[in-house]
Amino acid sequence: MTAESVLCRKTLPSIEDHLLAPEWCDPRIGIVHLGIGNFHRAHEAIYTEEAMLAAGGDWAICGVTLQGDVTKRDALMAQDGLYSVVERGPQGVKTSVIRALREVLALPHDRARLFDLLADPYVRIVSLTVTEKGYCRDTKTGDVDRGHPGIAHDLEHPGEPGTVLGILVAALKTRRDAGIAPFTVLSCDNLSHNGAALRQVVCSHARVLDEALATWIDSEVAFPSTMVDRIVPATTDADRDAAAVALGLRDEVPVPCEPFRQWVIEDRFPAGRPAWEQVGAQLVDDVMPFELAKLRMLNGTHSTLAYLSVLAGFATIDEAISFAPLHALIHSMMTDEIAPTLSVPASFDLMAYRDALLERYANPALKHRCAQIAMDGSQKIPPRLLATIAARLERGQPISRLALGVAAWFVFLRGRADDGTSFVISDPLASRLTALATNVGNVGDTRNAPQGLVDALLGCRDVFSAELASNEMFRHALIEAVTQLKTGARAAIENTNLQVAGIDPASGQNL
């Protein structure tokens, strides 16, 4: 393949129809983004390019990979930071080429360049999408997990950090010592109260090294919260082939996504920000109502769908939601168990939001793989499902559907689908969780297996608080749900639907 057939800056004149606008001002880097994955490239990067086109400003992005793998850096830089976003919806496919990404770095290889940028006064925002596990938090206190190997390294070698927390603390120290105003730290992860959570964990990390630095960060650095939403699957070879057909150029790093997107941002940016509000982002005083609605309605049902689907043999979300009993379960879960726990502005119609989510799940063009959503359950389950369960238990309300989602995760941790197919558990606590899940006998082995599985996993304090784990209503609901799953996920879904409707699955009579 010749250089001319690969997407890069000099090929832009040939693909003007795929640009957000033909003009471009070649802005300076104003944002460093930690965790340059597909989601950022289909979300913040697009909003930022559109904002610069609408209102100007030097807000080009430097993206940073944190895993030591240079593959993504090299692929993006070979294309001058360009990549295509392929929006797939029921109405068709739209392919756009994004130019906001100016540079890509990979740690630890490009540490010096990264810290030069983080000390540059023109860099006024450091944003991140590193998933829940990237925050290295002690789940019981919210402070930094000093037992985390990466954190232990960074505290011992603060000048050579590898974790997000170590990078932020070292960079903010440099700016404080040089008399440079701090950058704003912008979390774009699905973490409850993500700005406040990030502030706490960063300050606690800094406090171990330098109490005065921690105090300065706490008082001088803004950590606005956000709510982000867009379904962005992993890139496949089919996506690369589709992008090549659309562009007439080879793009090694296209991003598939749905047409829908949402970004709600707490408007606290002392050093300035792009004009995101001009291109569809919502700048608000309080993100929490939007955040909780998304975490519980979308993320909670997404995880429930993922674990039930992997067990039942559904590969993608659209395939899963087309199974009528599962559609009915998720619909009633949002309507009857999740929505009543939410307090939202009068303008936010939760039932319309529910219907929009179900429509998005059914998008046949997206092919969002259930196995991708099922990753990192130990980090996702607490904010997505357990917080909702705790709210309902506090009011003495039933949790049958929510409990089925958690129980499906328990059974999923055995690494075997209902048809016997094995799969690998991808989770920061994988070894511990799979040991707990498999050391109590197989689900169908003994009468007490469901009880043993539930008790073993409820004992994991990194996921379940002592208070929640000791709640008998919760424990009983989980045991009943795991027992239902002994007959297979599809049967468990149907039986749960019957039970919440007041019908005995065995007899068909009213309970």
CATH number for position 245: 3.40.50.720
Amino acid of residue 141: T
Mean pLDDT of the region 448-457: 91
Positive or negative, the CA dihedral 9, 15, 18, 20 is positive
Mean pLDDT of the region 444-473: 88
The pLDDT value recorded for residue 192 is 83
- The residue behind tokens 């959570």 is 197
The pLDDT value recorded for residue 507 is 76
The pLDDT value recorded for residue 508 is 78
* One domain, residues 150 and 235: yes
Is residue 511 domain-resident? Answer: no
109-138 burial by CB neighbour count: b if 16+ within 10 A, else e?
A: ebbeebbebbebeebbbbbbbbbbbbbbbb
* One domain, residues 276 and 421: no
* One domain, residues 154 and 80: yes
Is residue 14 domain-resident? Answer: yes
Is residue 508 domain-resident? Answer: no
Name the nearest CA neighbour of 263 among 39, 456, 92. 39
Domain range enclosing 496: 288-500
Contact 280, 261 (CB under 8 A): yes
Checking if the pLDDT of 501 tops 90, the result is no
* One domain, residues 355 and 479: yes
Is residue 509 domain-resident? Answer: no
Checking if the pLDDT of 107 tops 70, the result is yes
The percent of residues above 70 in pLDDT, for the chain, comes to 98
Checking if the pLDDT of 3 tops 50, the result is no
**Residue 407 to residues 385, 444, 449: CA-CA distances in angstroms?**
11, 15, 13
Is residue 510 domain-resident? Answer: no
The pLDDT value recorded for residue 493 is 98
The pLDDT value recorded for residue 447 is 43
* One domain, residues 240 and 137: yes
Mean pLDDT of the region 303-307: 98
Q: Are strands 83-89 and 29-34 parallel, antiparallel or unpaired?
A: unpaired
Question: Of 254, 284, 314, at which residue does a domain stop?
Answer: 284
507 vs 496: which has the higher pLDDT:
496
Which pair of tokens denotes residue 405? Answer: 């989602």
The pLDDT value recorded for residue 441 is 53
Is residue 142 domain-resident? Answer: yes
**Residue 500 to residues 388, 399, 400: CA-CA distances in angstroms?**
18, 10, 7
Rounded distance between C-alpha atoms, residue 464 and residue 366, angstroms:
33
Checking if the pLDDT of 8 tops 90, the result is yes
Question: Of 284, 310, 340, at which residue does a domain stop?
Answer: 284
User: Which of 113-117, 224-228, 365-369 has the weakest average pLDDT?
Assistant: 365-369
Checking if the pLDDT of 4 tops 60, the result is no
State whether residue 93 is helix, strand or coil: strand
The percent of residues above 90 in pLDDT, for the chain, comes to 90
* One domain, residues 347 and 234: no
249 vs 91: which has the higher pLDDT:
249
Question: Of 237, 264, 284, at which residue does a domain stop?
Answer: 284
Residues paired with residue 84 on neighbouring β-strands, in sequence order: 97
Q: What is the tens place of the pLDDT at every residue in 128-175?
A: 999 989 999 998 899 999 999 999 999 999 999 999 999 999 999 999
* One domain, residues 303 and 444: yes
The pLDDT value recorded for residue 446 is 46
* One domain, residues 199 and 54: yes
Per the structure, how many domains does the chain have?
2
Q: Across all residues in the chain, what is the average pLDDT?
A: 94
- The residue behind tokens 């340059």 is 36
Is residue 505 domain-resident? Answer: no
* One domain, residues 223 and 372: no
Checking if the pLDDT of 440 tops 80, the result is no
* One domain, residues 50 and 123: yes
Write the CATH number for 468: 1.10.1040.10
Is residue 436 domain-resident? Answer: yes
The pLDDT value recorded for residue 115 is 98
Checking if the pLDDT of 1 tops 50, the result is no
* One domain, residues 271 and 319: no
Residue 411: pLDDT band (50, 70, 90) is very high
Angle between helices 430-438 and 449-458 (to 10 degrees): 150
pTM of the model: 0.85
Give a three-class secondary structure readout of 98-145: ECCEEEEEECCCCHHHHHHHHCCCCCCEEEECCCHHHHCECCCCCCEC
**Residue 9 to residues 57, 83, 112, 122: CA-CA distances in angstroms?**
20, 11, 26, 24
Mean pLDDT of the region 400-416: 98
The pLDDT value recorded for residue 448 is 57
* One domain, residues 225 and 310: no
| Phi, psi angle pair for 267, to nearest 5° | -85, 80
Residue 347: pLDDT band (50, 70, 90) is confident
